[in-house]
Amino acid sequence: MDAWEEVIGPVSAECRAQAKAAVVVEVGSGEFPDECYRETKHLNGCTVPVIDDDGTIGAQIYIAEERAEIAKADTAVEEFTHLLAGCETGDSDADHINPLYWDDYGADTVEAVGCAGLEL
């Protein structure tokens, strides 16, 4: 959330709660849920929205377990960017076209700032 706030602005209370309710799970390459597959059969990560029994909105974030630890952390940053984008704007930017979010667009993006702040 710090990277989002540094690049985009404040995270709403609703989206902060959703991000805090998210659970990260490592899965094998063939164990991603069906909701994760769009146009590819190979995934590094995926976010699936979840509504708990008590009405709490969160997400299940899946990370490919066979990746190196730093790659897993990078993927988690990407998936949290999707989660916050979806919550704050209604568009998770699944195709990575928003130049404010993705490190392909430079060092002053949410993903780049988030990955630069990783401590492993």
State both tokens at 81. Answer: 């960017």
pLDDT (tens digit per residue) in 75-107: 999 999 999 999 999 999 989 999 999 999 999
What is the tens place of the pLDDT at every residue in 27-78?
987 788 888 876 566 688 998 888 776 665 778 999 999 989 999 999 999 9
Provide the β-strand partners of residue 49: 59
Per-residue model confidence (pLDDT) at position 55: 60
Q: Are 44 and 67 in contact (CB under 8 A)?
A: yes
Can you give the pLDDT at residue 120? Answer: 58
Cα–Cα distance between 5 and 40 in angstroms, integer? 31
Closest CA to 111 of 11, 96, 119, 120: 96
State if pTM tops 0.85: yes
Burial 52-65 (b: 16+ CB within 10 A, else e): eeeeeebbbbbbbe
Q: Judge whether 76 and 63 are in contact, CB under 8 Å.
A: yes
The reported pLDDT for the residue numbered 33 is 86
